[in-house]
Each structure stands twice: as structure tokens, then as C-alpha cells.
Structure 1
Amino acid sequence: MKIGISGASGQLGKTVLAELKVRGGHHSAVGISRTPETVQSPAEGRHGDYDRPDTLTKAYEGVKRLLIIPAADVRPGARGRQFAAAIDAAVNSGVEHIVLISSAATREAEEPEMFAPYWTAEQHLIRTAPRWTILRMNYYAESLAQTASMSLRSGILPGLGESRVAFVSRDDLAAAAAGILLGEGHAGAFYNATGPDAVTGAQRAALMSEMSGKPLHFTVLDEAQLRGGLVQAGIPKEYIDAMIDIEKHFVAGDFNIVTGDVERLAGRRPRSLREVLKATPK
């Protein structure tokens, strides 16, 4: 069986391919990317660009199961177009089962709301694909870890309000995706990939402080204050808008969900936020 990973050069795509290699079995992997030369053996690298649907149709040929990973593209409307192009190309190429990486914050919404493309992609997939599975991910634990250095400099971990988030590690999400691609009985299923616990803002700050040995306090700011701090930190405007949107979803409780889906699909328990922070280079 030929399994395709669309978005194979990104961090998640590389991790899924590594997971498929470790698990072995009677399958071959195809890494589809705008930079196929970065796809490591034994996977086959193929050129495919979400913004050029003709390349996707060719890249997906012969693939039986396909994982679609969203691009890190925050341009208004871009991700929605890319999702639709990938799904349509996969169906036209004869892919039998499409697995979509979506988000735990997915709700019915319209652009330019950040998570609107996930909603439209899920609906399009359900209407279009012969067999499908949707894997909704919680927020990356690694993404929180990356903000730690900036927060530790100021001594403040900012937020728009107190929230609970069940951060998931990238490795665990990749293992769950590999479990779907290699397994049976997943067609028509929605899964939520989460960490083992939902952690509050105060708990996140305490963990970061403990790991670094530096004082850090969770502080609630209004939107203007948070936006101003991000501007001061030199973050580009389009990413600031995305970060503000994510914070709003944190406060709304959209990432406050804990499931056993990672353990079921990956065959191992998910790592806690503490474990991810401990393993992150200081």
C-alpha cells in the first residue's frame, strides 16, 4: 500500500514519515512537498504545491491513503483554497482514504476567522472524499515552549484571560496520524489529539519558571496591551493577528478538551506539557 504525506517537508510531515519508517509493515511512503529533495529515504519525494493544483494531481497518483497537513500560511483565504485544492486533487487522483489534520478549535465560521478554513475543509472533505478521517489537534506544546524565552525575559506570560489548554506534542500527533494511516476502522471518524491534562495559564507559567529557574507570572492583558507587546517584540502583523485569535480561542475554552485518542491511535500515552518543556533545549 502506498501512503502519501502532503506537506512532508514541514516539521509534522517529517515526523509522520519517521513514524511510518519505524513502524515498518507492508507499505511504501511518498512525501509530497514543494521541496521534494528534502524528503529522506526510504520515502519517495514528489513535487506538489498547494498553490498549484495541477502538481498535486500528479503527485497523488497511485497513493491509496493520504494525509493532508495544512501549510503554515496565514494569508487571508489562502489556507481554505489550499485545503480545497488538495482534497479535490486527491479525489481526482483516485486516493481511497483521505486523512485531514484539523484543529480542536474548529467551529462553523467564516473568513477571516483563523479557524474558518478548517471548518470549510472538513465539510468539503465529508462531501467529496470516498473515505475520510479527521484528526483535530490541540495546540502544540512545542509552540508554547518556543515562546518561553521571550516570556522569561519579561517575567510575564501574557494572556487575554485564564484558560485551560490540553497541549499536545508534535511527536504524539504524528504517531496518532500514523496509526490512522496504517490501521483499519477509522473511516468516517473524528479524533481529537490532546495531551493528558488541560493546563491553566498560571500552571503554564509555574512550569516554565520551574524548568528555567527564573520567575514567571501569568498576567491577563486586554487585547490592545497584548497586541502592543507583540509588536514591541518584533513579530510580523499577520502572525500577531493569528496569535490574538488563538488567545481568544484559549479563553473561549475551545482547546479545553482531553481525550484518549492519542493513546488509542499511537499505542502509547501522550507526553505531558512538563515532559515537553523538560526536553526542550534551553
Structure 2
Amino acid sequence: MNIGVSGASGKLGQAIVRELQARNSDHVLVAISRTPASTPGVEGRVGDYDKPETLATAYAGLDKLIIIPTTDLRPGMRGTQNETAITSAVAAGVKHIVFLSAAGTREQAEPAIGASYWRGEQALIKSGASWTILRMNYYAEALADEAESALATGALTGFGENKVAFVGREDVAAAAAGIVLTEGHAGAIYNATGAKSYTGAERAALMGEVLGKTVVFAAIPVETFKAGMAQMGLPSFVIDTITGIQLDFASGAFDVVTGDVEKLAGRKPQDLRDVLVAKLG
């Protein structure tokens, strides 16, 4: 069987390729990206979501394909890219398409980050192809990336107390690999989450424990949050995207706990503390 990973040069793509290599060596693995690197045991192909003509060749002959969206935050761009990748995969005759989406995905308008995932999901569902959607909760590694600013101010900020079931990137990769290496997932929508949801206070305390410093959770007004990012010189569309994520936190969009990682990966998801220790310890 020929298995492709589209978006293979990113951190998640690399993790999925490693997981596929570790779990099964009998299949042909194809790593697709704009700048494919030479990897032992993996065929590299050029594929650019902004250049559909490259995808026709990149997706040719694949039995299963995992599509990972880009990190392009410009309004409308990622949604168009997702639709292009799916249309190209269907045209290439890929037998089963797995789309990486986000927890809480629903119909939203740009610049909400969920808008691009919704467009991708809808395009896939309506495509007529055999498909599976894997919705990811918020990366545990992304929380670790907030540690520097939290240490500087002594506070992890948000728009109000909320709960998030952070998931490790390696767990998402293992779940995605499980989908393409086993059968029975056609038409399924899974949610890759951690084993529990953490409140703002709980994750701030955990971050402080790992770092050996006092970190508290502080609720701040939306406008204060946006003004702080503007002072950092971030583009308006980036500010809108990050603000949208925090609003999703506050609305409970990421307060979703499932057993899907264990079901698909064959092991329990990593504990948030373990991920923070690995990143910050």
C-alpha cells in the first residue's frame, strides 16, 4: 500500500512519517512538501497547496493520504489550500483521504481560525471519496511555548477561566498513523485530545511547578490582549487569529476529552506535565 503524508516537512508531518516508519515497514511511504528532504525509506515528492499542478503528480498512485493544513494565517488562504489539496487528491484517485482538522470546528467566518478547517471538512465530506477527519485539540507544545512570556509577567493570561484538553504532537501523529494503518475508519470524525481538561489555574500552576517559579492565571479584557500583541508588532490578521483561539478557549471549544488517541494509537496520550517537562525541563 502506498501512503502519502502531505505537509510532511512540518513538525507534525515529520512526526507522522516517523510513526509510520516505526509501526509498519511493509508500505511505501511518500513524504510530500514544497521542499521534500531525502529520508531513508521514504520517497520525497514536491507538492505545494498553492500550485495544484504539483499536487497532481505528488498524489498520483497513493492508496491513502494524510492532508495536514499549512500554518498560513492570511484570511482565506488556508481554507483555499485545504480545498485545493482535497480536490487534487480526489482527482488523483486517492482511495482514502485523512484530513487533519481542529477541535470545535464549526461554520465560522474569517478571520476565525476554524473557518479554514470547516471549509476543508465540508469539501472532503462532499467530495465523494472515502474519508476520515481527525480533529486535534490544542497542542501541549504550544502551551510550553507560552512559558517565556508567562515567566516574564508571572501570569498565564486568557479571557476567562476555561478548560482545555491539551494533546501532545506525538499523540496526534500516532493517532493519524493508526487511521491509515488499520481499517474501519471511513466516514469517522475523531478527536485527538489529552486524557483530561486543565483549567487556566491548573495549567499555570503546572507550568510554574515545572519551571520552579510562581505562575498564576490572569483573566484580561480582549482589547488589552490585542493591544499587547499590537505593541509587539504582530500583523492584524495574526492578532485576530490568536484572539480567536483564546475566544474558543473561553467558549469551551477545546474542553473535549475522548479516548480516540488510545483507540487509534494503541496507547494512552501523554500527560500534559510530561510534555512540559520535555520542552521546559
Coarse TM-score class (shorter-chain normalised): over 0.9
CA distance in structure 1 between the aligned counterparts of 2:196 and 2:135, rounded to whole angstroms: 16
Per-residue deviation, 1:233: 4.2
Secondary structure at the counterpart of residue 48 of structure 2: coil
Per-residue deviation, 1:105: 2.1
Residue pairs, 1:117-196, within 5 angstroms: 117-196=116-195
Q: Which moved more, 1:230-239 or 1:11-20?
A: 230-239
Instruction: Check the 8 A contact 1:97/1:131 in 2, yes or no.
Output: yes
Instruction: Check the 8 A contact 2:83/2:123 in 1, yes or no.
Output: yes
Q: CA RMSD in A?
A: 1.2
Residue 105 in structure 1 maps to residue 93 in structure 2: no
Secondary structure at the counterpart of residue 126 of structure 2: helix
Question: Could you tell me which amino acid in structure 1 is paired with residue 77 of structure 2?
Answer: A
Partner in structure 1 of residue 45 of structure 2: 46
Work out the number of aligned pairs and report it. 281
Question: Could you tell me which amino acid in structure 1 is paired with residue 253 of structure 2?
Answer: D
Partner in structure 2 of residue 214 of structure 1: 213
CA offsets per residue over residues 215-247 of structure 1, 9 Å max, x none?
A: 111000001111122234454443222111000
Partner in structure 1 of residue 82 of structure 2: 83
The list of structure 1 runs, each at least 4 consecutive aligned residues, that deviate by more than 6 angstroms after superposition, is none
CA distance in structure 2 between the aligned counterparts of 1:4 and 1:15, rounded to whole angstroms: 13
CA distance in structure 1 between the aligned counterparts of 2:8 and 2:160, rounded to whole angstroms: 35
Secondary structure at the counterpart of residue 132 of structure 1: strand
Instruction: Check the 8 A contact 2:111/2:241 in 1, yes or no.
Output: no
User: Quick one: structure 1 residues 155 and 234, their matched pair in 2 at CA, closer, same or farther if it must change by over 3 Å?
Assistant: farther
User: Quick one: structure 1 residues 174 and 56, their matched pair in 2 at CA, closer, same or farther if it must change by over 3 Å?
Assistant: same
Residue pairs, 1:200-211, within 5 angstroms: 200-211=199-210
Residue 34 in structure 1 maps to residue 34 in structure 2: yes
Partner in structure 1 of residue 7 of structure 2: 7
Secondary structure at the counterpart of residue 125 of structure 1: helix
Per-residue deviation, 1:25: 3.9
CA offsets per residue over residues 144-202 of structure 1, 9 Å max, x none?
A: 10111111111011101110000000000000000001110001101000000100000
Q: Which moved more, 1:224-233 or 1:257-266?
A: 224-233
CA offsets per residue over residues 19-53 of structure 1, 9 Å max, x none?
A: 001012421100010001x2522110000000001
Please report the TM-score for the alignment, with normalisation by the length of structure 2.
0.97
CA offsets per residue over residues 228-281 of structure 1, 9 Å max, x none?
A: 222344544432221110000000000001000000000000011111111114
Per-residue deviation, 1:58: 0.8
CA distance in structure 1 between the aligned counterparts of 2:184 and 2:38, rounded to whole angstroms: 29
Instruction: Check the 8 A contact 2:75/2:237 in 1, yes or no.
Output: no
Instruction: Check the 8 A contact 1:97/1:129 in 2, yes or no.
Output: no
Please report the TM-score for the alignment, with normalisation by the length of structure 1.
0.97
Partner in structure 1 of residue 259 of structure 2: 260
Question: Could you tell me which amino acid in structure 1 is paired with residue 44 of structure 2?
Answer: G
Question: Could you tell me which amino acid in structure 2 is paired with residue 10 of structure 1?
Answer: G
Partner in structure 2 of residue 19 of structure 1: 19
Secondary structure at the counterpart of residue 239 of structure 1: helix
Residue pairs, 1:36-75, within 5 angstroms: 36=36, 38-75=37-74
Q: Which moved more, 1:84-93 or 1:220-229?
A: 220-229
Gaps of 5+ in 2: none
Identical counterparts, % of pairs: 53
Gaps of 5+ in 1: none
Partner in structure 2 of residue 278 of structure 1: 277
Instruction: Check the 8 A contact 1:178/1:266 in 2, yes or no.
Output: yes
Instruction: Check the 8 A contact 1:87/1:129 in 2, yes or no.
Output: no
Question: Could you tell me which amino acid in structure 1 is paired with residue 22 of structure 2?
Answer: V
